Chain A
């Protein structure tokens, strides 16, 4: 299997005032193309830090991180931006839609800067929001906003989707719908899915589960028979 990411000895240290905090201790990790990887851990375990490093939003303090043949750790600010633009789709806990743009425009804002994007309207249809295209974020429910965010992330045809607690702010039923959509993107478009959660139940839909604690990977388990979101309960 092709490794999309390979991290070796990845470290991220923050300085909180005069205290040094190791958010991520020496971590080795490979992310395979096309897989669904769920990173599981309590808050403060370093999972968000890891995701931000993978997504090119942050730089490691030490270690090497490759995306395919590109050494991400060697890229400058502008190159990192281009990397995010071409290869990464983000989905956040709080959606982060642009409030002044409609649903369709929020998707199009991503396709506008992409090389070979999907059609924005089709992407909205993919998340079942075709009829809400002209609505502003303030006119959409949380679940709808998150689906727009997914459509936006997917629309630029990224190599992977990095999701930080995508269901964290949603109720159970809405959360399931969102997971369903993420899974469909992974299966139908072949987009690698990296998903952070502290909800252990969600791990059941993963190909692999990475458990983290206190800035360290404590366990990686392979899941021979990942479940569909509809089969998951929490």
Chain B
């Protein structure tokens, strides 16, 4: 077998370019697979261990105000292992260095440290001293962004009073892995933080002696959250229960879960494409190798080498390529996953985010990679097995060309030059290979499109959401419902262009057996600061009666226009009523319902009410308005659109650029590999023919033009289905990331199509150039001497 090994190395050396291309494609596939699988498993593991160690609650139940004793009694509910009551309030912080208020969420924790539900992971400082009056533990991300440390003071407006709180600790919490207020889709620690205060201090500050307004519970293993929620809602009803919800509906957890689920989908889509292409290309290359070595194979068989030995020989070649690809790919994957930790740190706060070498991910990645490689070699190897010695020693049948369909149309055919005819007939004769090559280019095109799709989709989301839907400069939320007088106050401020009332009401919507906790936003019919749009971005008017549902909410409820929904208000007098769905609007963020504000107020038994406003502010006075808003005690939060857009651009765009670069590089590898191999095989098989042309007096450039035409033709043929495929990939990905929090719209911009086309032709020409160099070395004398 030693001689066979030598042959193996020499064969592979002579085709090193082609094999290298395949190694790289396999590596891309395995790398993406290992990266995504490592991220998926790592993120899941980090979440699970964090939740377990810090006792993330299973049930969250906000109430108006309930005595601690009543809350403690909830431990008797079957399935409940432990409950805890706490005080949660939204406040504003008046930071000197900012010209606008910062939103804060007060969460009370016991004065003395003990094992809590949703426990804190202290990264700096300590628990409260004494009863913790005017002391706070702040979120790590917030402290970092504002450069705050232990001992620094924070001016907070609590219960209409401005208090200066001293920071005693910096912490993380499992319920704020994704540090978000609900008004944003990205963590914006510049303008939002959690403040953990001692129970004693919170009770005193909010007049909540021995009372709470939020309940946490952990359940026994196997207990049903639905039953517990129902029982909680029943028992807490008289304390103003706003509707308990399970961990799966908790905001931070939803973001984390959506990411994990998204990764699960991505783990299959992209790597499959890459490995599929690698199998394709290997199939072509090995097929050609076996064809040209028929004589050698037959000879070896005639000498007495067994079929198995020869199959092993060719299989070994493929496996060597596979192993090289898999080793390179998994190393890259490990490295990329390591780099992903940095990306995830921009979004998620875990005490430990472990995306280090994951043996399972690497093993699965390698196995899948090798599997595809073997698959790609199978046909060639089987043809080795079928070859009998006598058959192999006879010269291969001459290449037969026939008229092709196009020639039946003399008008068209007469316009095709000879080199064109050569190219077209050749492509038509090697149909299978041509189809494989076209498919390869199509896949590369698809992957490229996919990378541009992410950018397009995000841009579309941003544009629609923050230009057409949310047209306000700022949104104010008040602590309590207020009368329209609050509007007049705001409108009097200098630089205030518009102030429109908003009434947000927490509800549970029910349609048949499906139900959903969400909010109805009441808007004024003459309002202009919140756009309601249909799928074609046309304005939808607010009905006088009935609801507008966002498409996602309608989908979740299985409701269509005309259907009646049962509405249960979660707060206040808890009315129940039935209203029809009047229309559906398209939004990319959230899953909400809209109604006429006056009508919504009547539904909840008020004449007219608002608990928020949308503001349009003259930019010249933005600073003054911001400063004034900081001091309004009734305000529970202020969100400026520019901050949302700003944080978005900073984090998402940067991340996206890195990902796009990687994908473009990967797609380039595929495109290059496919074209290089197809052209290389074509050149090798037709060396004699091309040399003949050179002898006839064709210049190298003219002969190269034939190969170039062929490659460009293949790429052009691959482009169109590739663009369609890219659109399909994009659509699949948009389905993958279609959650009730956000949806990535499926858009294909002409700009991206153009970029894809340019890139595919670019990669084609590079591969063409690489093969073309071989033409120069074409030895006219040698080629013509040897009989095929």
Q: Which residues of A contact B (CB under 8 A)?
A: 48, 52, 55, 57-58, 77-78, 81-82, 84-86, 88, 90, 92, 94, 96-101, 105, 108-110, 112-114, 136-138, 152, 156
Contacts and interface: CB of A to CB of B under 8 A. Distances in A.
A112 B692 CA distance: 15
A108 B416 CA distance: 13
A81 B778 CA distance: 14
Nearest to A84: B697
B697 A138 contact: no
B417 interface: yes
Given A105-B421, A136-B401, A94 B787 contact: yes
A100 B784 CA distance: 17
Contacts of A98: 422, 689, 692-693
B574 interface: no
Nearest to B702: A113
Interface string B426-449: 100100000000000000000000
Contacts of A52: 781
A86 B429 CA distance: 32
B400 A138 contact: yes
Contacts of B425: 100-101
Contacts of B429: 100
B697 A81 contact: yes
B696 interface: yes
A112 B781 contact: no
A187 B700 CA distance: 34
B697 A85 contact: yes
Nearest to B425: A100
Contacts of A113: 696-698, 702
The 3 closest A-B pairs by CB, nearest first: A85-B697, A100-B425, A96-B692
B402 interface: yes
Residue of A97, A98, A137, A138 with most chain B CB atoms under a 10 A cut-off:
A98
Given A96-B688, A105-B418, A112-B418, A57 B780 contact: yes
B699 interface: yes
A138 B421 contact: no
Residue of B429, B696, B787 with most chain A CB atoms under a 10 A cut-off:
B696
B401 to A, nearest CB: 5
Contacts of A152: 696
Q: Chain B contact residues: over half helix, strand or loop, or mixed? A: helix
A108 B700 CA distance: 19
B689 A99 contact: yes
A208 B398 CA distance: 38
Interface string B386-406: 000000000000111110000
A138 B402 CA distance: 9
8 contacts: A48-B785, A58-B781, A96-B688, A99-B398, A100-B429, A113-B697, A137-B398, A138-B401
B694 interface: yes
Residue of A108, A113, A114 with most chain B CB atoms under a 10 A cut-off:
A113
B695 A99 contact: no
Given A96-B692, A100-B429, A138-B398, A85 B421 contact: no
Contacts of B699: 78, 81-82
Given A57-B781, A88-B697, A96-B695, 15 more contacts: A52-B781, A81-B698, A82-B699, A84-B695, A85-B696, A92-B784, A94-B784, A96-B689, A98-B693, A99-B398, A101-B421, A112-B418, A113-B698, A113-B702, A138-B399
Interface string B692-736: 111111111010000000000000000000000000000000000
Contacts of B688: 96
A45 to B, nearest CB: 15
Given A100-B421, A100-B426, A136-B402, A82 B693 contact: no
A82 B418 CA distance: 19
A49 B398 CA distance: 28
A138 B401 CA distance: 7
Contacts of A84: 695-697
A137 B785 CA distance: 19
Nearest to B696: A110
A142 B785 CA distance: 17
A168 B702 CA distance: 31
B776 to A, nearest CB: 9
A148 B698 CA distance: 18
Residue of B421, B693, B697 with most chain A CB atoms under a 10 A cut-off:
B697
Interface string B756-788: 000000000000000000000000110011010
B14 to A, nearest CB: 17
A108 B422 CA distance: 12
Interface string B345-375: 0000000000000000000000000000000
Nearest to A164: B784
A118 to B, nearest CB: 15
Given A58-B781, A99-B399, A101-B418, A85 B693 contact: no
A158 B305 CA distance: 52
Interface string B664-698: 00000000000000000000000011011111111
B700 to A, nearest CB: 8
Contacts of A110: 696-697
A84 B698 CA distance: 9
A16 to B, nearest CB: 12
A86 B697 contact: yes
Nearest to B698: A113
Nearest to A100: B425
Interface string B281-293: 0000000000000
B571 to A, nearest CB: 79
A98 B554 CA distance: 65
B418 A81 contact: no
Residue of A81, A84, A94, A101 with most chain B CB atoms under a 10 A cut-off:
A81
A157 to B, nearest CB: 12
A112 to B, nearest CB: 6
B79 to A, nearest CB: 77
A86 to B, nearest CB: 7
Nearest to A78: B699
A136 B400 contact: yes
Interface string B576-620: 000000000000000000000000000000000000000000000
B422 A82 contact: no
Contacts of A100: 401, 421-422, 425-426, 429, 689
A216 B786 CA distance: 24
A85 B698 contact: yes
A233 B266 CA distance: 77
Contacts of B402: 136
A51 to B, nearest CB: 10
A78 B399 CA distance: 31
Contacts of B787: 94
A90 B689 contact: no
Contacts of A114: 697
Nearest to A58: B781
Contacts of B702: 113
A22 B425 CA distance: 42
A81 B776 CA distance: 13
